[in-house]
């Protein structure tokens, strides 16, 4: 057991303190109709090696709290409510004074909510033409839960010593360097994490959810042209992830050497030079489709984008122009394509309760090509339900997340995936006379509303007469999002869900771990490369 890591069990004493503060809040703060308090604690260790040499061993402990209050003004004529937030990073020593710190935070969140409610009322009265756009903060109802959810793992991350971590990264990095004289630089890093999230509300929710997280990262530079690749294996599980319990089915060493071999191979491959005006049949592998579904289906179905709350930071959605002009119930993809947000399948987007205490569930976003729902929060669910009479976005589906409790939760992807089909991927390729096989993902370039995309791949192979041929680097595909999705004529039977370690959203930025994936797909797209013919 690694005794140097602070135990997440230190939060046990905070539960009663939080319960007491919330019990007295409605009578203590005028106009308060709702409040919740989140506390998270994470202990993390990481070991990093460069080019076969030990570089860094880190221990980090983070303790955070976040408080949300919904309040109006007691003497208000309009009855408008608003939200106020308070977030704080603490030290372990602050646990001795957690009651006063949280009490101050609750008072601050109430002042912010009340002030915002007053400003809303001023706008509604002074700008009657825009009054309908100034909405009261109301939460859709959810079932209230009290539950302890323990972390799931086969091998406790805390049972792995610092020495074992450092030895693993050093030895893997050494083997990567020895793999080929073309390898110029590499990094091998392993991160082990234990997190515990507490959530309580004035509605009576009391959730204590823990999880482990294990991640292995590799980065390789090879060849005279400086070809670079990186990738991760990871899951919200224990050390077994590095022994092969991951989407690749590879241990960390095998994974690292495969990425190294691919990078060396690519360093000698010619760049793809292609006429970008020609449509080709393309087969995209599950890892490429992980980034594809993330960008053109995941972000555009987040309800805060739908409601234009994200417009200034990250854009809008090709699924939704307005309440009168949107794609709900319309065909946006081939009938073979279905997309779900599913935190119940594990992975980086796996959890049981979101940051609002909503029980997570599988939500079908696209059903046989038709857009049917969005990822939402309790507030956005309430607004969408009112607008669509409950036909879309009506029930909260547990998609509010934050990188830690000190941040305001946002509508975030969990595991957004293309659902699997029945087609044999090898058959997909064998039926193409002149096309391309696209594997892995590198760099996305997405339009503001995600209505078209250009995503480069790690590996691009020419398909000729049903056979995989020449390997190219620096290639990818580009298409109108709807055109590509509707062109899909084959969906593979080899579904996989991959870890995406750094999905950015919000201001201030929150880099969230999410899951994305799917099976092989076959459709029509234009190829991109280093230059045009």
What pLDDT is stored for residue 314 in this prediction? Answer: 74
| Higher pLDDT pick, 130 / 522 | 522
Q: Token pair for residue 451?
A: 């209505």
What pLDDT is stored for residue 6 in this prediction? Answer: 46
What pLDDT is stored for residue 4 in this prediction? Answer: 35
As a whole number, mean pLDDT of residues 368-385 equals: 94
CA distance 354 to 414: 10
**Coil, strand or helix at 432:** coil
As a whole number, mean pLDDT of residues 108-118 equals: 95
pLDDT tens, 136-189? Answer: 899 999 999 999 999 999 999 999 999 999 999 999 999 999 999 999 999 999
> What is the domain partition of the chain in residue ranges?
8-266, 279-528
CA distance 465 to 398: 47
Please check the confidence at residue 389 and state whether its pLDDT lies above 80: no
What pLDDT is stored for residue 391 in this prediction? Answer: 60
CA distance 1 to 231: 29
319: enclosing H helix or E strand? none
As a whole number, mean pLDDT of residues 392-415 equals: 92
As a whole number, mean pLDDT of residues 399-412 equals: 96
- Taking CA atoms, 98 is separated from 63, 107, 208, 402, 410, in Å, by 11, 14, 17, 21, 25
Query: 8-266 — its CATH code?
Result: 3.30.2290.10
With cut-offs at 50, 70 and 90, classify the pLDDT of residue 533.
very low
- The count of other CB atoms within 10 Å of the CB of residue 254 is 14
- The count of other CB atoms within 10 Å of the CB of residue 93 is 8
| Higher pLDDT pick, 275 / 437 | 437
As a whole number, mean pLDDT of residues 84-88 equals: 97
As a whole number, mean pLDDT of residues 463-491 equals: 97
As a whole number, mean pLDDT of residues 310-335 equals: 90
CB 507 within 8 A of CB 313: yes
Phi-psi region of 144 (alpha: psi -120 to 50; beta: other; left: phi over 0): beta
As a whole number, mean pLDDT of residues 101-129 equals: 91
Please check the confidence at residue 78 and state whether its pLDDT lies above 90: no
With cut-offs at 50, 70 and 90, classify the pLDDT of residue 92.
confident
Place of tokens 């996989």: 496
pTM for the whole thing?
0.95
Tally DSSP H helices, then E strands, for the chain.
10, 24
pLDDT tens, 293-307? Answer: 999 999 999 999 999
Mean pLDDT computed over every residue of the chain: 93
The backbone torsions φ and ψ at residue 288, rounded to the nearest 5 degrees and listed phi first, read -60, -40
In the DSSP assignment, the letter for residue 206 is E
Closest CA to 212 of 229, 194, 199, 234: 194
- Taking CA atoms, 205 is separated from 144, 191, 279, 355, 395, in Å, by 5, 32, 53, 11, 18
**Helices within 269-345 (DSSP H only):** 286-293, 303-306, 311-314
């Amino acid at each position: 057991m690694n005794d140097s890591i602070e135990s997440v069990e230190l939060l046990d004493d905070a539960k009663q303190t939080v319960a007491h503060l919330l019990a007295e809040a409605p009578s203590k703060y005028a106009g308060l109709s709702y409040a919740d308090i989140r506390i998270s604690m994470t202990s993390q260790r990481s070991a990093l090696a460069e080019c076969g040499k030990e570089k860094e061993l880190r221990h980090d402990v983070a303790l955070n709290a976040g408080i949300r209050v919904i309040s109006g003004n007691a003497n208000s004529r309009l009855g408008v409510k608003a939200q106020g937030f308070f977030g704080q990073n603490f030290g372990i020593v602050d646990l001795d004074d957690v009651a006063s710190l949280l009490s101050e935070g609750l008072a601050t969140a109430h002042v912010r909510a009340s002030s915002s409610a007053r400003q809303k009322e001023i706008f509604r009265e002074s700008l009657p033409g825009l009054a309908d756009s100034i909405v009261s903060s109301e939460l859709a109802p959810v079932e209230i839960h009290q539950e302890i959810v323990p972390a799931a793992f086969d091998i406790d991350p805390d049972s792995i010593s610092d020495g074992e971590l450092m030895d693993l990264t050093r030895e893997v990095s050494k083997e990567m360097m020895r793999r080929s004289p073309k390898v110029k630089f590499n990094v091998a890093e392993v991160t082990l994490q234990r997190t515990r999230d507490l959530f309580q509300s004035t509605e009576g929710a009391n959730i204590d959810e823990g999880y482990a997280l294990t991640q292995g990262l590799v980065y390789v530079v090879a060849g005279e042209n400086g070809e670079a690749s990186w990738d991760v294996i990871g899951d919200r599980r224990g050390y077994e992830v590095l022994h092969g319990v991951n989407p690749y089915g590879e241990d960390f060493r095998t994974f690292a050497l495969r990425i190294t071999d691919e990078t060396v191979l690519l360093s000698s491959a010619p760049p793809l030079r292609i006429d970008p005006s020609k449509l080709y049949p393309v087969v995209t592998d599950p890892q490429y489709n992980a980034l594809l579904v993330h960008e053109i289906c995941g972000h555009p179905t987040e309800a805060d984008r739908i409601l234009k709350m994200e417009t200034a930071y990250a854009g809008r959605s090709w699924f939704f122009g307005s309440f009168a002009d949107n794609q709900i119930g319309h065909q946006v993809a081939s009938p073979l394509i279905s997309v779900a947000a599913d935190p119940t399948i594990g992975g980086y987007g796996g959890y049981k309760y979101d940051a609002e205490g909503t029980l997570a569930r599988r939500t079908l976003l696209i059903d046989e090509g038709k857009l049917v729902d969005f990822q939402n929060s309790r507030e956005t669910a309430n607004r969408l339900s009112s607008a669509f009479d409950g036909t879309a976005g009506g029930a909260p589906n547990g998609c509010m997340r934050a990188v830690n409790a000190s941040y305001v939760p946002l509508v975030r992807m969990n595991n957004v995936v293309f659902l699997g089909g029945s087609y044999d991927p090898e058959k997909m390729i064998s039926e193409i006379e002149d096309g391309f096989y696209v594997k892995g993902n590198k760099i996305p370039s997405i339009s503001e509303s995600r209505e078209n995309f250009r995503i480069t791949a790690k590996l691009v192979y020419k398909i000729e007469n049903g056979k995989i041929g020449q390997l190219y680097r620096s290639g990818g595909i580009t298409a109108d999002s709807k055109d590509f999705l509707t062109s899909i004529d084959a969906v593979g039977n080899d579904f996989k869900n991959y870890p995406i370690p750094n999905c950015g959203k919000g201001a201030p930025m929150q880099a969230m771990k999410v899951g994305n994936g799917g099976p092989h797909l076959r459709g029509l797209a234009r190829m991109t490369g280093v230059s045009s013919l």
